[in-house]
Amino acid sequence: YNEYKSYLSLVMIQYMLLFSRQGKLRLQKWYNPLPQKDKRRITRELITLILSRKPKMCSFLEYRDQKVVYKRYASLFFCVAIDPGDNELLTLEVIHRYVELLDKYFGSVCELDIIFNFEKAYFVLDELLIGGEVQETSKKSVLKAIAAQDMLQDETESKTGLDEMADKKKLGLTGGLP
């Protein structure tokens, strides 16, 4: 396990893009600061380039001064840019681990899960990667952290809901009879 984790920490991710077969960007995470204009251009160029490739073609390509590794899962493409000296197969492992975590969390993840719960998709990604490097390889640890975050969010939302109900009651805005 520790050996696996040390190998994965050798990969430095520049950015990750998730997009649909129709070319709609669903999620983006940039680990190096770039002007917004450059981000849009890179995103547009990579989506066009990857969607124009045939399914049997290699999932690795050279783009500018980076290597791009991508993988299609159902209707989504997961695209990651890495440094030229980084290992493409380890990057595919990182992509696959992210998909496994999303699958466990959402129960067979689909594009709609990403669209309607994008903040959760980002949270899962942030538990897996920090600063473009693998933080945690254990699925169990990542899912435990996500479950704790969900519990905290549920507690906060229920407390907020109770506070709002108490405020309405004080103001006489409840729907009951006087």
Give per-residue pLDDT as tens, 118-132.
Answer: 999 999 999 999 999
| Separation CA 97–CA 101 (nearest Å) | 6
Tens digit of pLDDT at every position of the chain (178 positions): 555 455 555 678 999 999 999 999 999 999 999 999 999 999 999 999 999 999 999 999 999 999 999 999 999 999 999 999 999 999 999 999 999 999 999 998 999 999 999 999 999 999 999 999 999 889 999 999 999 989 998 888 877 666 666 666 666 555 554 4
If one counts every other C-beta atom within 10 angstroms of the C-beta of residue 157, the result is 10
Contacts of 134 (CB under 8 A, 6+ apart): 5, 8, 9, 11, 94, 128
| Separation CA 84–CA 62 (nearest Å) | 8
Contact 91, 83 (CB under 8 A): no
Per DSSP, helices labelled H in 9-138 are 36-51, 88-106, 111-116, 118-128
Contacts of 159 (CB under 8 A, 6+ apart): none
Residues linked to residue 60 through DSSP beta bridges, in sequence order: 69
DSSP H or E stretch at residue 14: strand 13-20
The whole-model pTM stands at 0.82
**DSSP code of residue 93:** H
